[in-house]
Amino acid sequence: MANDRLPQEHDGPERSNAALAADASLLRAVVDNLPDYIYVKDTQSRFVLNNRAHLRVLGAQSQEEVAGKTDYDIFPAELAHLYAADEREVLRTGEALSEREERAVDPEGEEQWLLTTKTPLRGADGRVVGLVGISRNITARKRVEEALKLRDAALQEAHQELERVLDTMGDGVMVLDANHRLVRANRRMCELLQYAEAELLGKGPEFWTHPDHLTISGDELAKRRHGERTTYETKCLRRDGSSFPALATGVAIFDEGGAYQGAVGCVADITSLKHAEGQLRETMAELARSNAELEQFACVASHDLQEPLRKMASFAELLAKRYQGQLDEKADRFIDYITDGAARMRELIQGLLAYSRVGTKGQELAPVALGECFEQALANLETALEDCQAVVTCDPLPTVNADPLQMTQLFQNLLGNALKFRGEETPRIHTSAERRGASHRLCVADNGIGIEPEFAERIFILYQRLHTRQEYPGTGLGLALCRKIVERHGGRIWVESGSGTGATFVLTIPVLESAEPAGDAGGPAADSEKRPDPTCFRQKGEVS
Protein backbone atom coordinates (compact mmCIF):
# COMPACT_ATOMS: atom_id res chain seq x y z
CA MET A 1 0.00 0.00 0.00
CA ALA A 2 2.94 2.26 0.62
CA ASN A 3 4.11 1.80 -2.97
CA ASP A 4 0.65 2.56 -4.21
CA ARG A 5 0.75 5.91 -2.46
CA LEU A 6 4.14 7.07 -3.76
CA PRO A 7 2.97 8.07 -7.20
CA GLN A 8 0.17 9.99 -5.65
CA GLU A 9 2.56 11.82 -3.35
CA HIS A 10 4.94 12.35 -6.23
CA ASP A 11 2.18 13.87 -8.40
CA GLY A 12 0.95 16.24 -5.62
CA PRO A 13 3.30 19.23 -6.31
CA GLU A 14 2.48 19.19 -10.03
CA ARG A 15 -1.19 19.21 -9.36
CA SER A 16 -0.65 21.95 -6.77
CA ASN A 17 1.30 24.11 -9.24
CA ALA A 18 -1.40 23.60 -11.86
CA ALA A 19 -4.04 24.61 -9.37
CA LEU A 20 -2.05 27.67 -8.45
CA ALA A 21 -1.66 28.54 -12.10
CA ALA A 22 -5.36 28.10 -12.65
CA ASP A 23 -6.11 30.24 -9.65
CA ALA A 24 -3.70 32.91 -10.87
CA SER A 25 -5.28 32.83 -14.31
CA LEU A 26 -8.74 33.10 -12.80
CA LEU A 27 -7.64 35.94 -10.57
CA ARG A 28 -6.09 37.76 -13.51
CA ALA A 29 -9.28 37.28 -15.52
CA VAL A 30 -11.34 38.67 -12.67
CA VAL A 31 -9.03 41.65 -12.25
CA ASP A 32 -8.99 42.34 -15.99
CA ASN A 33 -12.75 42.32 -16.18
CA LEU A 34 -13.34 44.69 -13.32
CA PRO A 35 -14.28 48.25 -14.45
CA ASP A 36 -12.15 49.85 -11.75
CA TYR A 37 -8.50 50.70 -12.48
CA ILE A 38 -6.29 48.20 -10.58
CA TYR A 39 -2.52 48.38 -10.51
CA VAL A 40 0.49 47.22 -8.49
CA LYS A 41 3.65 49.28 -7.98
CA ASP A 42 7.00 48.54 -6.42
CA THR A 43 8.69 50.61 -3.76
CA GLN A 44 9.98 53.00 -6.45
CA SER A 45 6.37 53.62 -7.62
CA ARG A 46 7.08 51.76 -10.87
CA PHE A 47 4.21 49.87 -12.46
CA VAL A 48 4.45 46.11 -12.00
CA LEU A 49 0.95 45.07 -12.90
CA ASN A 50 -2.04 46.86 -14.46
CA ASN A 51 -5.44 45.49 -15.23
CA ARG A 52 -7.01 45.93 -18.65
CA ALA A 53 -9.17 48.92 -17.63
CA HIS A 54 -6.13 50.72 -16.29
CA LEU A 55 -4.07 50.00 -19.37
CA ARG A 56 -6.82 51.55 -21.50
CA VAL A 57 -6.94 54.71 -19.44
CA LEU A 58 -3.13 54.93 -19.67
CA GLY A 59 -3.37 54.59 -23.44
CA ALA A 60 -1.45 51.29 -23.51
CA GLN A 61 -2.25 48.05 -25.37
CA SER A 62 -0.18 45.66 -23.27
CA GLN A 63 1.48 45.31 -19.90
CA GLU A 64 4.92 45.57 -21.47
CA GLU A 65 4.25 49.17 -22.57
CA VAL A 66 3.95 50.47 -19.01
CA ALA A 67 5.96 47.94 -16.97
CA GLY A 68 8.73 49.72 -15.07
CA LYS A 69 7.34 53.20 -15.80
CA THR A 70 6.30 55.73 -13.21
CA ASP A 71 3.55 58.32 -13.25
CA TYR A 72 6.10 60.93 -14.39
CA ASP A 73 6.46 58.96 -17.64
CA ILE A 74 2.72 59.09 -18.32
CA PHE A 75 0.98 62.04 -16.65
CA PRO A 76 1.70 65.78 -16.56
CA ALA A 77 4.34 66.65 -13.97
CA GLU A 78 1.84 68.43 -11.71
CA LEU A 79 -0.37 65.34 -11.41
CA ALA A 80 2.58 62.91 -11.23
CA HIS A 81 4.03 64.91 -8.34
CA LEU A 82 0.74 64.63 -6.39
CA TYR A 83 0.46 60.87 -7.05
CA ALA A 84 4.09 60.28 -6.02
CA ALA A 85 3.70 62.24 -2.78
CA ASP A 86 0.68 60.13 -1.77
CA GLU A 87 2.51 56.89 -2.57
CA ARG A 88 5.64 57.85 -0.64
CA GLU A 89 3.46 58.45 2.39
CA VAL A 90 1.79 55.02 2.00
CA LEU A 91 5.16 53.27 1.59
CA ARG A 92 6.68 55.18 4.51
CA THR A 93 3.86 54.69 7.02
CA GLY A 94 2.50 51.36 5.81
CA GLU A 95 -1.00 52.81 6.18
CA ALA A 96 -3.58 52.81 3.42
CA LEU A 97 -4.87 55.94 1.70
CA SER A 98 -8.62 55.42 1.37
CA GLU A 99 -11.00 56.90 -1.17
CA ARG A 100 -9.02 60.00 -2.08
CA GLU A 101 -10.55 62.07 -4.90
CA GLU A 102 -7.90 62.64 -7.56
CA ARG A 103 -7.87 64.56 -10.78
CA ALA A 104 -6.54 62.73 -13.84
CA VAL A 105 -6.21 63.17 -17.59
CA ASP A 106 -7.16 60.51 -20.14
CA PRO A 107 -5.15 59.86 -23.35
CA GLU A 108 -7.30 62.40 -25.25
CA GLY A 109 -6.45 65.09 -22.71
CA GLU A 110 -9.93 65.12 -21.13
CA GLU A 111 -10.09 65.77 -17.42
CA GLN A 112 -11.17 62.81 -15.31
CA TRP A 113 -11.95 62.38 -11.64
CA LEU A 114 -10.97 59.22 -9.73
CA LEU A 115 -11.83 57.86 -6.30
CA THR A 116 -8.56 56.13 -5.32
CA THR A 117 -7.54 53.74 -2.56
CA LYS A 118 -3.82 52.86 -2.21
CA THR A 119 -2.89 49.99 0.10
CA PRO A 120 0.66 48.86 1.06
CA LEU A 121 1.66 45.45 -0.37
CA ARG A 122 3.60 43.32 2.13
CA GLY A 123 5.89 40.33 1.54
CA ALA A 124 5.94 37.02 3.43
CA ASP A 125 8.14 38.63 6.09
CA GLY A 126 5.68 41.49 6.57
CA ARG A 127 7.88 44.15 4.97
CA VAL A 128 6.29 46.63 2.54
CA VAL A 129 7.38 45.60 -0.95
CA GLY A 130 5.05 47.86 -2.92
CA LEU A 131 1.48 49.04 -3.07
CA VAL A 132 -1.82 48.15 -4.68
CA GLY A 133 -3.98 50.91 -6.11
CA ILE A 134 -7.65 50.77 -7.00
CA SER A 135 -9.21 53.80 -8.71
CA ARG A 136 -12.84 54.22 -9.70
CA ASN A 137 -13.79 56.70 -12.42
CA ILE A 138 -16.24 59.16 -10.83
CA THR A 139 -16.13 61.75 -13.61
CA ALA A 140 -19.84 61.39 -14.38
CA ARG A 141 -20.70 61.75 -10.71
CA LYS A 142 -18.44 64.79 -10.35
CA ARG A 143 -20.06 66.40 -13.38
CA VAL A 144 -23.48 65.77 -11.89
CA GLU A 145 -22.27 67.19 -8.60
CA GLU A 146 -20.86 70.24 -10.36
CA ALA A 147 -24.11 70.67 -12.28
CA LEU A 148 -26.04 70.38 -9.02
CA LYS A 149 -23.73 72.91 -7.40
CA LEU A 150 -24.26 75.31 -10.29
CA ARG A 151 -28.00 74.73 -10.12
CA ASP A 152 -28.03 75.24 -6.39
CA ALA A 153 -25.95 78.38 -6.77
CA ALA A 154 -28.30 79.67 -9.47
CA LEU A 155 -31.32 78.84 -7.31
CA GLN A 156 -29.71 80.52 -4.35
CA GLU A 157 -28.91 83.58 -6.43
CA ALA A 158 -32.47 83.63 -7.82
CA HIS A 159 -33.84 83.26 -4.30
CA GLN A 160 -31.67 86.11 -3.05
CA GLU A 161 -32.69 88.24 -6.01
CA LEU A 162 -36.34 87.46 -5.31
CA GLU A 163 -35.82 88.39 -1.67
CA ARG A 164 -34.22 91.68 -2.74
CA VAL A 165 -37.09 92.41 -5.12
CA LEU A 166 -39.71 91.57 -2.48
CA ASP A 167 -37.97 93.70 0.13
CA THR A 168 -37.71 96.71 -2.21
CA MET A 169 -41.35 96.62 -3.31
CA GLY A 170 -43.48 99.55 -2.25
CA ASP A 171 -46.42 97.30 -1.36
CA GLY A 172 -46.65 94.58 1.24
CA VAL A 173 -46.35 90.97 0.04
CA MET A 174 -47.29 87.89 2.03
CA VAL A 175 -47.30 84.17 1.26
CA LEU A 176 -49.89 81.94 2.94
CA ASP A 177 -49.93 78.14 3.14
CA ALA A 178 -52.91 75.89 2.37
CA ASN A 179 -54.35 76.67 5.83
CA HIS A 180 -53.87 80.38 5.23
CA ARG A 181 -51.10 80.68 7.78
CA LEU A 182 -48.37 83.15 6.93
CA VAL A 183 -45.04 81.65 5.82
CA ARG A 184 -43.39 84.75 4.32
CA ALA A 185 -43.79 88.52 4.63
CA ASN A 186 -41.65 91.09 2.88
CA ARG A 187 -40.12 94.11 4.57
CA ARG A 188 -42.91 96.50 3.53
CA MET A 189 -45.58 94.16 4.94
CA CYS A 190 -43.78 94.09 8.26
CA GLU A 191 -43.51 97.89 8.22
CA LEU A 192 -47.22 98.27 7.49
CA LEU A 193 -48.24 95.96 10.34
CA GLN A 194 -45.42 97.10 12.69
CA TYR A 195 -44.26 93.51 13.34
CA ALA A 196 -41.07 91.57 12.66
CA GLU A 197 -41.52 88.73 10.19
CA ALA A 198 -40.86 86.13 12.89
CA GLU A 199 -43.80 87.52 14.87
CA LEU A 200 -46.12 87.07 11.89
CA LEU A 201 -45.10 83.55 10.91
CA GLY A 202 -47.88 81.05 11.45
CA LYS A 203 -50.48 83.77 11.97
CA GLY A 204 -53.71 83.91 9.94
CA PRO A 205 -55.69 86.80 8.41
CA GLU A 206 -57.62 87.28 11.65
CA PHE A 207 -54.36 88.52 13.21
CA TRP A 208 -53.93 91.54 10.92
CA THR A 209 -57.48 92.09 9.59
CA HIS A 210 -59.91 94.50 11.23
CA PRO A 211 -62.83 92.57 12.78
CA ASP A 212 -65.32 94.44 10.58
CA HIS A 213 -63.60 93.03 7.48
CA LEU A 214 -63.02 89.41 8.51
CA THR A 215 -66.08 88.18 6.63
CA ILE A 216 -64.93 89.88 3.44
CA SER A 217 -61.42 88.47 3.87
CA GLY A 218 -62.79 84.95 4.39
CA ASP A 219 -64.98 85.18 1.29
CA GLU A 220 -62.06 86.34 -0.84
CA LEU A 221 -59.79 83.55 0.43
CA ALA A 222 -62.51 81.02 -0.43
CA LYS A 223 -62.59 82.39 -3.99
CA ARG A 224 -58.84 81.90 -4.30
CA ARG A 225 -59.21 78.19 -3.51
CA HIS A 226 -61.17 77.96 -6.75
CA GLY A 227 -58.42 79.69 -8.71
CA GLU A 228 -59.94 83.18 -8.80
CA ARG A 229 -57.67 86.22 -8.69
CA THR A 230 -59.23 88.56 -6.15
CA THR A 231 -58.90 92.27 -5.52
CA TYR A 232 -60.81 93.94 -2.73
CA GLU A 233 -60.65 96.74 -0.20
CA THR A 234 -60.08 95.85 3.43
CA LYS A 235 -58.78 97.36 6.65
CA CYS A 236 -55.60 96.13 8.35
CA LEU A 237 -54.60 96.33 12.00
CA ARG A 238 -51.22 97.55 13.21
CA ARG A 239 -49.39 96.47 16.37
CA ASP A 240 -50.35 99.74 18.09
CA GLY A 241 -54.06 99.03 17.55
CA SER A 242 -54.53 101.57 14.77
CA SER A 243 -55.78 100.54 11.33
CA PHE A 244 -55.36 101.64 7.75
CA PRO A 245 -57.39 101.11 4.56
CA ALA A 246 -55.75 98.66 2.14
CA LEU A 247 -56.26 97.29 -1.33
CA ALA A 248 -55.55 93.54 -1.27
CA THR A 249 -54.84 91.43 -4.33
CA GLY A 250 -54.38 87.67 -4.08
CA VAL A 251 -53.72 84.72 -6.35
CA ALA A 252 -53.76 81.01 -5.50
CA ILE A 253 -50.81 78.61 -5.69
CA PHE A 254 -51.46 75.07 -6.99
CA ASP A 255 -49.06 72.15 -7.34
CA GLU A 256 -48.60 70.15 -10.54
CA GLY A 257 -51.49 67.91 -9.57
CA GLY A 258 -53.83 70.89 -9.14
CA ALA A 259 -53.93 70.69 -5.33
CA TYR A 260 -54.26 74.02 -3.50
CA GLN A 261 -51.00 74.95 -1.81
CA GLY A 262 -51.74 78.45 -0.58
CA ALA A 263 -51.80 81.99 -1.91
CA VAL A 264 -49.69 85.05 -2.56
CA GLY A 265 -51.17 88.36 -1.51
CA CYS A 266 -50.21 91.96 -2.20
CA VAL A 267 -51.35 94.68 0.21
CA ALA A 268 -51.20 98.38 -0.65
CA ASP A 269 -51.80 101.15 1.87
CA ILE A 270 -54.45 103.36 0.24
CA THR A 271 -54.74 105.93 3.02
CA SER A 272 -53.63 108.73 0.67
CA LEU A 273 -55.99 107.45 -2.02
CA LYS A 274 -58.92 107.46 0.41
CA HIS A 275 -57.94 110.96 1.47
CA ALA A 276 -57.84 112.01 -2.18
CA GLU A 277 -61.23 110.39 -2.75
CA GLY A 278 -62.63 112.40 0.14
CA GLN A 279 -61.15 115.57 -1.31
CA LEU A 280 -62.54 114.63 -4.72
CA ARG A 281 -66.00 114.15 -3.25
CA GLU A 282 -65.74 117.55 -1.62
CA THR A 283 -64.53 119.05 -4.88
CA MET A 284 -67.35 117.40 -6.81
CA ALA A 285 -69.84 118.72 -4.27
CA GLU A 286 -68.30 122.16 -4.58
CA LEU A 287 -68.35 121.86 -8.36
CA ALA A 288 -72.01 120.83 -8.28
CA ARG A 289 -72.73 123.83 -6.09
CA SER A 290 -70.75 126.06 -8.41
CA ASN A 291 -72.55 124.67 -11.45
CA ALA A 292 -75.87 125.27 -9.73
CA GLU A 293 -74.83 128.85 -9.02
CA LEU A 294 -73.65 129.20 -12.62
CA GLU A 295 -76.96 127.91 -13.88
CA GLN A 296 -78.75 130.27 -11.55
CA PHE A 297 -76.60 133.09 -12.86
CA ALA A 298 -77.45 132.02 -16.39
CA CYS A 299 -81.11 132.30 -15.56
CA VAL A 300 -80.52 135.76 -14.12
CA ALA A 301 -78.51 136.72 -17.19
CA SER A 302 -81.23 135.34 -19.42
CA HIS A 303 -84.05 137.26 -17.79
CA ASP A 304 -83.05 139.95 -15.28
CA LEU A 305 -80.03 141.26 -17.22
CA GLN A 306 -81.36 141.01 -20.74
CA GLU A 307 -84.58 142.92 -20.01
CA PRO A 308 -82.87 146.24 -19.04
CA LEU A 309 -80.35 145.59 -21.80
CA ARG A 310 -83.14 145.35 -24.37
CA LYS A 311 -84.63 148.57 -23.02
CA MET A 312 -81.28 150.33 -23.17
CA ALA A 313 -80.64 149.09 -26.69
CA SER A 314 -84.16 150.08 -27.78
CA PHE A 315 -83.78 153.61 -26.46
CA ALA A 316 -80.28 153.85 -27.98
CA GLU A 317 -81.68 152.89 -31.38
CA LEU A 318 -84.57 155.37 -30.93
CA LEU A 319 -82.11 158.06 -29.95
CA ALA A 320 -80.01 157.28 -33.02
CA LYS A 321 -83.00 157.41 -35.37
CA ARG A 322 -84.35 160.67 -33.93
CA TYR A 323 -81.23 162.67 -33.29
CA GLN A 324 -78.50 161.13 -35.54
CA GLY A 325 -77.05 163.98 -37.58
CA GLN A 326 -78.96 166.65 -35.70
CA LEU A 327 -76.38 167.08 -32.98
CA ASP A 328 -72.65 167.56 -33.29
CA GLU A 329 -70.22 164.87 -34.45
CA LYS A 330 -69.23 163.96 -30.90
CA ALA A 331 -72.87 163.27 -29.94
CA ASP A 332 -73.25 161.02 -32.97
CA ARG A 333 -70.14 159.13 -31.91
CA PHE A 334 -71.49 158.71 -28.38
CA ILE A 335 -74.77 157.36 -29.74
CA ASP A 336 -72.77 154.85 -31.82
CA TYR A 337 -70.85 153.78 -28.70
CA ILE A 338 -74.10 153.20 -26.81
CA THR A 339 -75.66 151.20 -29.65
CA ASP A 340 -72.54 149.13 -30.25
CA GLY A 341 -72.01 148.51 -26.54
CA ALA A 342 -75.57 147.27 -26.11
CA ALA A 343 -75.20 144.91 -29.06
CA ARG A 344 -71.90 143.57 -27.74
CA MET A 345 -73.34 143.11 -24.26
CA ARG A 346 -76.22 141.13 -25.76
CA GLU A 347 -73.74 138.90 -27.63
CA LEU A 348 -71.65 138.34 -24.51
CA ILE A 349 -74.64 137.43 -22.37
CA GLN A 350 -76.02 135.07 -24.99
CA GLY A 351 -72.59 133.45 -25.44
CA LEU A 352 -72.06 133.07 -21.72
CA LEU A 353 -75.55 131.64 -21.39
CA ALA A 354 -74.81 129.07 -24.13
CA TYR A 355 -71.47 128.18 -22.52
CA SER A 356 -73.01 127.62 -19.09
CA ARG A 357 -75.73 125.38 -20.50
CA VAL A 358 -73.52 122.96 -22.46
CA GLY A 359 -73.48 120.41 -19.65
CA THR A 360 -76.79 121.21 -17.97
CA LYS A 361 -79.27 121.99 -20.71
CA GLY A 362 -78.00 119.78 -23.51
CA GLN A 363 -80.00 116.94 -24.99
CA GLU A 364 -79.36 113.36 -23.91
CA LEU A 365 -76.59 111.76 -25.98
CA ALA A 366 -77.89 109.41 -28.68
CA PRO A 367 -76.65 108.04 -32.04
CA VAL A 368 -76.29 111.02 -34.37
CA ALA A 369 -75.13 111.18 -37.99
CA LEU A 370 -72.52 113.94 -37.88
CA GLY A 371 -73.01 114.54 -41.61
CA GLU A 372 -76.50 115.83 -40.92
CA CYS A 373 -75.16 118.19 -38.25
CA PHE A 374 -72.52 119.38 -40.70
CA GLU A 375 -75.19 120.05 -43.37
CA GLN A 376 -77.27 122.03 -40.85
CA ALA A 377 -74.22 124.11 -39.90
CA LEU A 378 -73.66 124.86 -43.60
CA ALA A 379 -77.29 125.93 -43.97
CA ASN A 380 -76.97 128.26 -40.95
CA LEU A 381 -73.86 129.86 -42.51
CA GLU A 382 -75.26 130.08 -46.04
CA THR A 383 -75.19 133.87 -46.25
CA ALA A 384 -71.63 134.14 -44.90
CA LEU A 385 -70.46 131.41 -47.30
CA GLU A 386 -71.99 133.23 -50.27
CA ASP A 387 -70.52 136.58 -49.25
CA CYS A 388 -66.93 135.28 -49.27
CA GLN A 389 -67.36 132.72 -52.09
CA ALA A 390 -66.06 130.00 -49.78
CA VAL A 391 -65.37 126.44 -50.98
CA VAL A 392 -66.23 123.81 -48.38
CA THR A 393 -65.49 120.11 -48.83
CA CYS A 394 -66.18 117.24 -46.49
CA ASP A 395 -65.33 113.55 -46.27
CA PRO A 396 -67.94 111.05 -45.02
CA LEU A 397 -68.55 111.65 -41.32
CA PRO A 398 -69.34 108.88 -38.80
CA THR A 399 -72.33 108.25 -36.59
CA VAL A 400 -71.52 108.88 -32.94
CA ASN A 401 -73.22 109.19 -29.57
CA ALA A 402 -73.88 112.93 -29.38
CA ASP A 403 -76.19 115.89 -28.82
CA PRO A 404 -77.23 116.92 -32.37
CA LEU A 405 -77.77 120.59 -31.53
CA GLN A 406 -74.37 120.88 -29.87
CA MET A 407 -72.65 119.07 -32.75
CA THR A 408 -74.28 121.49 -35.20
CA GLN A 409 -73.10 124.38 -33.04
CA LEU A 410 -69.59 122.88 -32.94
CA PHE A 411 -69.33 122.64 -36.73
CA GLN A 412 -70.92 126.08 -37.15
CA ASN A 413 -68.38 127.68 -34.79
CA LEU A 414 -65.39 125.96 -36.47
CA LEU A 415 -66.56 126.79 -39.99
CA GLY A 416 -67.47 130.33 -38.95
CA ASN A 417 -64.04 130.72 -37.36
CA ALA A 418 -62.41 129.69 -40.64
CA LEU A 419 -64.53 132.22 -42.55
CA LYS A 420 -63.77 135.01 -40.09
CA PHE A 421 -60.00 134.53 -40.04
CA ARG A 422 -59.55 134.13 -43.78
CA GLY A 423 -56.66 135.47 -45.81
CA GLU A 424 -56.55 137.15 -49.22
CA GLU A 425 -57.32 133.92 -51.10
CA THR A 426 -60.76 132.40 -51.55
CA PRO A 427 -61.54 130.54 -48.31
CA ARG A 428 -61.18 126.79 -48.64
CA ILE A 429 -62.29 124.57 -45.77
CA HIS A 430 -62.02 120.79 -45.72
CA THR A 431 -63.40 118.47 -43.03
CA SER A 432 -62.00 114.93 -42.81
CA ALA A 433 -62.62 111.97 -40.53
CA GLU A 434 -60.79 108.72 -39.75
CA ARG A 435 -61.08 106.08 -37.08
CA ARG A 436 -58.16 105.64 -34.71
CA GLY A 437 -58.70 102.88 -32.19
CA ALA A 438 -61.60 103.72 -29.91
CA SER A 439 -62.02 107.26 -31.27
CA HIS A 440 -62.89 109.10 -34.45
CA ARG A 441 -60.46 111.86 -35.39
CA LEU A 442 -62.09 114.80 -37.18
CA CYS A 443 -60.09 117.62 -38.76
CA VAL A 444 -61.42 120.98 -39.97
CA ALA A 445 -58.64 122.56 -42.07
CA ASP A 446 -58.64 126.01 -43.67
CA ASN A 447 -56.27 128.21 -45.65
CA GLY A 448 -56.69 131.27 -43.44
CA ILE A 449 -54.23 133.43 -41.53
CA GLY A 450 -53.26 130.66 -39.14
CA ILE A 451 -52.28 130.81 -35.47
CA GLU A 452 -48.86 131.10 -33.89
CA PRO A 453 -48.03 127.87 -31.97
CA GLU A 454 -47.55 129.75 -28.68
CA PHE A 455 -51.20 130.81 -28.79
CA ALA A 456 -52.57 127.34 -29.60
CA GLU A 457 -53.93 126.81 -26.09
CA ARG A 458 -54.94 130.37 -25.29
CA ILE A 459 -57.57 130.56 -28.02
CA PHE A 460 -59.72 127.98 -26.20
CA ILE A 461 -59.96 130.09 -23.02
CA LEU A 462 -63.02 132.27 -22.34
CA TYR A 463 -62.74 135.81 -23.71
CA GLN A 464 -59.15 135.30 -24.90
CA ARG A 465 -58.71 137.12 -28.20
CA LEU A 466 -55.61 137.41 -30.37
CA HIS A 467 -56.96 140.36 -32.41
CA THR A 468 -58.89 143.54 -31.72
CA ARG A 469 -62.61 143.78 -32.42
CA GLN A 470 -61.80 146.30 -35.15
CA GLU A 471 -59.70 143.67 -36.94
CA TYR A 472 -61.98 140.69 -36.41
CA PRO A 473 -65.36 140.84 -34.67
CA GLY A 474 -66.47 138.35 -32.02
CA THR A 475 -66.84 137.73 -28.30
CA GLY A 476 -63.95 135.34 -27.64
CA LEU A 477 -66.41 132.61 -26.63
CA GLY A 478 -66.66 130.50 -29.79
CA LEU A 479 -63.66 128.19 -29.38
CA ALA A 480 -64.14 127.94 -25.61
CA LEU A 481 -67.66 126.72 -26.36
CA CYS A 482 -66.25 124.21 -28.89
CA ARG A 483 -63.91 122.77 -26.27
CA LYS A 484 -66.68 122.43 -23.71
CA ILE A 485 -68.92 120.66 -26.23
CA VAL A 486 -66.16 118.24 -27.26
CA GLU A 487 -65.25 117.48 -23.65
CA ARG A 488 -68.90 116.83 -22.81
CA HIS A 489 -68.83 114.18 -25.54
CA GLY A 490 -65.73 112.48 -24.07
CA GLY A 491 -63.20 113.85 -26.56
CA ARG A 492 -60.66 116.63 -26.82
CA ILE A 493 -59.84 119.40 -29.29
CA TRP A 494 -56.67 121.23 -30.27
CA VAL A 495 -55.26 123.25 -33.16
CA GLU A 496 -52.31 122.54 -35.45
CA SER A 497 -51.16 125.68 -37.22
CA GLY A 498 -48.53 128.23 -37.99
CA SER A 499 -48.72 131.90 -38.89
CA GLY A 500 -49.92 132.34 -42.48
CA THR A 501 -50.22 128.59 -43.13
CA GLY A 502 -53.86 128.07 -42.30
CA ALA A 503 -55.22 126.25 -39.28
CA THR A 504 -56.40 122.69 -38.68
CA PHE A 505 -58.71 122.13 -35.74
CA VAL A 506 -58.50 118.50 -34.63
CA LEU A 507 -61.05 116.86 -32.37
CA THR A 508 -61.71 113.32 -31.16
CA ILE A 509 -65.07 111.68 -30.50
CA PRO A 510 -65.45 108.17 -29.00
CA VAL A 511 -66.56 105.46 -31.42
CA LEU A 512 -70.18 104.40 -31.08
CA GLU A 513 -69.98 100.92 -29.51
CA SER A 514 -72.73 99.47 -31.69
CA ALA A 515 -71.28 100.93 -34.88
CA GLU A 516 -69.65 98.71 -37.49
CA PRO A 517 -65.83 98.73 -37.46
CA ALA A 518 -65.71 100.09 -40.97
CA GLY A 519 -68.04 101.99 -43.22
CA ASP A 520 -69.66 103.71 -40.25
CA ALA A 521 -70.20 106.96 -42.08
CA GLY A 522 -73.28 108.92 -41.25
CA GLY A 523 -72.14 112.15 -42.84
CA PRO A 524 -72.73 113.78 -46.19
CA ALA A 525 -72.13 110.38 -47.76
CA ALA A 526 -74.12 108.32 -45.25
CA ASP A 527 -76.90 107.54 -47.73
CA SER A 528 -75.29 106.00 -50.79
CA GLU A 529 -78.47 106.29 -52.81
CA LYS A 530 -78.77 110.02 -52.14
CA ARG A 531 -75.04 110.80 -52.29
CA PRO A 532 -72.93 108.46 -54.43
CA ASP A 533 -70.04 110.93 -54.25
CA PRO A 534 -68.50 110.85 -50.75
CA THR A 535 -67.39 114.49 -50.97
CA CYS A 536 -69.76 117.42 -50.60
CA PHE A 537 -69.00 120.91 -51.85
CA ARG A 538 -70.42 124.31 -51.08
CA GLN A 539 -69.21 126.93 -53.46
CA LYS A 540 -70.85 130.30 -54.10
CA GLY A 541 -73.83 129.23 -52.07
CA GLU A 542 -74.40 125.91 -53.86
CA VAL A 543 -74.35 122.42 -52.41
CA SER A 544 -73.57 119.56 -54.77
SS3 string of 33-94? Answer: HCCCEEEEEECCCCEEEECHHHHHHHCCCCHHHCCCCCHHHCCCHHHHHHHHHHHHHHHHHC
| Dihedral angle computed from the Cα positions of residues 133, 138, 139 and 143, in that order, rounded to the nearest 10 degrees | -150
User: What is the structure's pLDDT at 541?
Assistant: 35
pTM across the whole model: 0.42
User: What kind of fold does domain 366-543 have according to CATH?
Assistant: Heat Shock Protein 90 (3.30.565)
Contact assessment for residue 481 and residue 358, using Cβ atoms and an 8 Å cutoff:
yes
Q: How far apart are CA 9 and CA 12, in angstroms?
A: 5
How far, in whole angstroms, is CA 302 from its chain's centroid? 52
- The CATH code belonging to domain 17-137 is 3.30.450.20
User: What kind of fold does domain 169-269 have according to CATH?
Assistant: Beta-Lactamase (3.30.450)
Contact assessment for residue 231 and residue 247, using Cβ atoms and an 8 Å cutoff:
yes
Q: How far apart are CA 531 and CA 514, in angstroms?
A: 24
With 0-12 CB in 10 A as exposed, 13-18 as middle and 19+ as buried, what is 99? exposed
Contact assessment for residue 253 and residue 184, using Cβ atoms and an 8 Å cutoff:
no
pLDDT tens-digit map of 442-494:
999 988 887 777 766 777 776 555 544 545 555 567 788 888 889 888 898 88
Contact assessment for residue 456 and residue 494, using Cβ atoms and an 8 Å cutoff:
yes
The string of DSSP codes covering 419-468 is HHT--SSPPEEEEEEEEETTEEEEEEEE-SS---GGGTTGGGSTT--SS-
Contact assessment for residue 416 and residue 396, using Cβ atoms and an 8 Å cutoff:
no
The pLDDT profile of the chain, 544 residues, written as one tens digit per residue, is 444 443 444 455 565 667 767 777 887 888 888 889 999 999 999 999 999 888 988 888 899 999 999 999 988 898 889 999 999 999 999 999 988 888 888 777 788 888 999 999 998 888 999 999 999 999 888 889 889 998 988 888 887 887 888 788 888 999 999 999 999 999 999 999 999 999 999 999 999 999 999 888 888 888 888 888 889 999 999 999 999 999 999 898 898 888 999 999 899 999 999 999 999 999 888 888 877 776 676 666 666 666 677 777 777 778 777 777 777 777 777 777 777 777 766 766 666 666 666 655 657 788 999 999 999 889 888 888 888 888 999 999 999 988 888 888 889 888 988 888 777 788 899 999 999 888 999 999 988 887 777 766 777 776 555 544 545 555 567 788 888 889 888 898 888 876 667 888 899 999 987 644 444 444 444 433 333 333 344 433 333 2
